[in-house]
Structure 1
Amino acid sequence: MKNSPVTPVIAYIGLGSNLAEPVAQITSARTAIAAIAGLQELAFSSLYHSLPMGPQDQPDYVNAVMGVATELLPMDFLRCLQSIENDQGRVRIGERWGARTLDLDVLIYGDQIIDLPDLVVPHRGVDERSFVLYPLFEIAPQLVVPGKGAIADLIAKCPLSGLRRMN
Structure 2
Amino acid sequence: MSGRAYLSLGSNVEPETHLRAAVRALRERFGEIVVSPAYRTHAVGFDGPDFLNAAAIIDSDLEPQPLNDWLHALEDAHGRDRTGPRFSDRALDIDIVLFDDRVIAGGGNLRIPRPDLEHAFVLRPLAEIAPDTVVPGTGCSLATLWAAHAEHDAELDRTTLT
In the aligned structure 1, how far is the partner of 2:155 from the partner of 2:12?
15
Q: How does 1:18-167 map to 2 (within 5 A)?
A: 18-19=12-13, 21-36=14-29, 39-55=30-46, 57-116=47-106, 117-126=108-117, 128-148=118-138, 149-158=140-149, 159-160=151-152, 163-167=156-160
Distance 1:93 1:26, change over 3 A: same
Please report how far the alpha carbon of residue 166 of structure 1 lies from its aligned counterpart in structure 2 after TM superposition.
Answer: 2.6
Q: Give deviations 1:55-112, integer Å, cap 9, x for gaps.
A: 1x21000011000111101110001000000001111123122111110101111100
Give unpaired runs (5+ residues) of structure 2. none
What fraction of aligned residue pairs are identical, expressed as a percent? Answer: 35
Measured in 1, the distance between the counterparts of 2:125 and 2:114 equals: 15
Q: Which has the higher helix share?
A: 2
User: What is the rounded CA distance, in whole Å, between the counterparts of 2:144 and 2:45 in structure 1?
Assistant: 26
Gaps of 5+ in 1: 1-6
Q: Which amino acid aligns with 1:138?
A: E
Q: CA deviation at 1:150?
A: 1.3
* Matching residue of 1:11: 5
Q: Distance in 1 between matches of 2:146 and 2:66?
A: 30
In 2, the alpha carbon distance for the partners of 1:15 and 1:41 equals 17
* Contact 1:41–1:66 (8 Å) recurs in 2: no
Match of 1:4 in 2: none
1:3 is matched with none
Q: TM-score under structure 1 normalisation?
A: 0.87
Q: RMSD in angstroms over aligned alpha carbons?
A: 1.5
